[in-house]
């Protein structure tokens, strides 16, 4: 019965999210525009340099950006932070204080249902992009690579969700969280691998990045899938990613407890 509550929330989330299916479809479709700019940019860079760049050639670089589009659609929360902040600001969380429903579990169910609908709706335009650039796609030959990349992908999704949830809890103390959210997301964009593959950076910089959570939000599962992270380095990456997952989960629970205490203390 305890699990059934969250299954019901998941189903409700599916129905509510599906209402916005055309928004998701158009967002994925117009995601081709920055990809086109990226293709032209790296074509010019590789043409100018006349060769590869730290293990990447033009084809593998384009393949990397194709994978960033796919992984980002699979694991990145969409509007979750604003919805959670609105629940707090508008007093909607009061209903959760009198019901046997854990708010973190409730939001996690909504997140998972949203990712499922978003993936289902955007799979066609993303598939078309992959078909167009198919000559650059090189799939792993080792079945275990798929397993480890999928495991890293799952942890990436939960890390992003728990980080988003923790940021949203700031709404207990401040009225508008958009500035904090955009600052953190700027770090994610640069340090998570959306702007460029992190392993083209100098080795010293890479070593620092590997201890930050952003490294494991996007780059890690892609690096494992492409074979750039393998062997002992892969096991270390998965161990650190697991550690960040536990830390983010702990932070999410701590922020809720502290925020709720403040909310009740001021008569929310």
CA distance 125 to 197: 23
pLDDT at 1 over 50: no
Read off the pLDDT of residues 77-133 as tens digits, 9 standing for 90 and up: 877 888 888 888 888 888 777 777 788 988 888 888 878 877 777 777 778 888 888
Per-residue model confidence as pLDDT tens digits over 164-193:
999 999 999 988 888 888 899 888 888 998
The larger pLDDT score, comparing residue 167 to residue 30, is at: 167
Residues 6+ apart with CB under 8 A from 243: none
pLDDT at 10 over 70: no
pLDDT 10s digits, 228-256 = 999 999 999 999 999 999 999 999 999 99
Q: What is the mean pLDDT of the chain?
A: 84
Instruction: Encode pLDDT of 74-83 as tens digits.
Output: 888 877 888 8
Residue 31 has pLDDT above 50, yes or no: yes
DSSP 99: S
- Top pLDDT among 235 and 13 is at 235
pTM (global) more than 0.75: yes
Q: Is the dihedral of CA 244, 245, 247, 252 positive or negative?
A: positive
Residue 202, pLDDT above cutoff 80: yes
Q: Is 253 left (phi over 0), alpha (psi -120 to 50) or beta?
A: alpha
Least confident of 12-16, 201-205, 225-229, 235-239: 12-16
3-class DSSP assignment, residue 53:
strand
pLDDT of residue 95: 79
CB atoms within 10 A of CB 135: 9
**According to the model, what pLDDT value does residue 238 have?**
97
Residue 56 phi, psi (nearest 5): -110, 135
- Of the segments 70-74, 136-140, 217-221, which one has the largest average pLDDT value? 217-221
Position 18 scores a pLDDT of 55
Q: Residue 126: in which H helix or E strand, if any? A: helix 103-132
Q: Collect contacts of 60-64 with beta carbons under 8 A, ≥24 apart.
A: 60/136, 60/138, 60/226, 61/197, 62/38, 62/133, 62/136, 63/133, 63/136, 63/137, 63/138, 63/226, 64/197, 64/222, 64/226
């Amino acid at each position: 019965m305890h699990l059934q509550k969250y299954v019901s929330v998941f189903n409700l989330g599916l129905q509510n999210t599906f209402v916005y299916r055309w928004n998701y479809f158009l967002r994925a479709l117009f995601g081709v525009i920055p990809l086109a700019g990226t293709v032209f940019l790296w074509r010019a860079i590789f043409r100018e340099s006349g060769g590869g760049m730290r293990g990447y050639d033009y084809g593998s670089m384009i393949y990397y950006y194709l994978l960033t589009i796919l992984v980002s659609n699979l694991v990145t929360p969409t509007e979750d932070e604003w919805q959670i902040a609105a629940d707090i600001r508008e007093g909607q969380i009061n209903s959760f204080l009198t019901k046997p429903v854990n708010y973190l579990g409730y939001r996690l169910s909504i997140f998972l249902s949203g990712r499922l609908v978003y993936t289902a709706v955007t799979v066609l335009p993303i598939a078309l992009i992959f078909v167009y650039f198919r000559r650059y796609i090189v799939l792993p030959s080792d079945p275990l690579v798929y397993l480890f990349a999928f495991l890293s992908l799952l942890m990436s999704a939960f890390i992003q969700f728990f980080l988003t949830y923790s940021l949203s809890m700031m709404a207990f103390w401040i009225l508008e969280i958009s500035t904090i959210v955009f600052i953190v997301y700027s770090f994610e964009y640069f340090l998570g691998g959306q702007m460029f593959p992190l392993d083209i950076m100098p080795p010293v910089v890479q070593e620092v990045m590997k201890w930050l959570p952003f490294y494991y939000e996007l780059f890690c599962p892609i690096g494992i899938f492409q074979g750039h992270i393998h062997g002992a380095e892969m096991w270390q990456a998965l161990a650190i990613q697991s550690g960040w997952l536990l830390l983010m989960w702990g932070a999410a629970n701590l922020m809720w407890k502290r925020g709720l205490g403040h909310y009740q203390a001021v008569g929310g």
